[in-house]
Amino acid sequence: MKILVAYGTTEGQTRKVARFVADRLVDAGHAVELLDANDAEGLDVGRFGAAVLAGSIHGGRYQPALVDFARGSAQALSARPGLFLSVSLSAAGDDAGEWEGIRAIADEFAQETGWRPGRVEHVAGAFRFGEYDYFKAWMMRRIAREKGETVDPEGDTEYTDWAALGAAVDDWAGALT
């Protein structure tokens, strides 16, 4: 099956997640088009049998290009099997309030865009200090400290559970026929 994997990213972790998903689907025998949502203008979603969209939460929202793409393609996306990957640092923890928040943000994305994916997976992100400006690095160190996390402000700290993500993608793709 031909599958679209479209993503929005801010610091690059969601691009890494999308590449992992695309590779996993190709290894399972699918044809995949990996696409940054910034480059999706004019894309005919009807060419695909299924779609995976991935975006990261920043300031309570996903990337505007991903929101615009999902909104503009909602009807076509909803007509085929869909998987939405919501990437956030909150997904790395077990704080019930934070999980409630990221679920609400994903629900708001569906309301705002009109796309109702068949499945939503929350994926833990990463601290990407090499991508942050001074202010954001300061804020992220503060957030990490408040959560009791030890991070290297000179490097990245990745929380993505690649085995769990692979299992979720395999399960979703296994239902495609």
Q: Give the count of domains, the chain.
A: 1
- pLDDT tens-digit profile of 17-65? 999 999 999 999 999 999 999 999 999 999 999 999 999 998 899 999 9
Query: How far is the C-alpha of 45 from the C-alpha of 113, rounded, in Å?
Result: 15
pLDDT of the residue at 56:
95
- Whether residue 155 lies inside any domain: the answer is no
**Which DSSP state fits 136?**
H
Cβ atoms of residues 62 and 40 within 8 Å: no
Is residue 154 included in any domain, yes or no? Answer: no
pTM equals 0.87
Tell whether 132 is covered by a domain: no
Domain annotation covers residue 148: no
Residue 6 lies in a domain: yes
CATH number, domain of 26, equals 3.40.50.360
Query: Is the predicted pLDDT of residue 138 greater than 60, yes or no?
Result: no
The predicted pLDDT at position 23 comes to: 98
Strand (E) or helix (H) holding 18: helix 13-27
Alpha helices in 28-157 (DSSP H): 64-72, 74-78, 96-113, 134-146
In a domain, 84, yes or no: yes
Asked if 2 contacts 31 with a C-beta cutoff of 8 angstroms, the reply is yes
By residue range, what is the domain housing residue 109? 2-125+160-174
**Percent of the chain clearing pLDDT 90 (strictly above):** 71
Could you give the angle at the alpha carbon of 91 between the alpha carbons of 87 and 97, nearest 5°?
A: 125
The answer to whether residue 37 sits within a structural domain is: yes
Element (H, E) at 97: helix 96-113
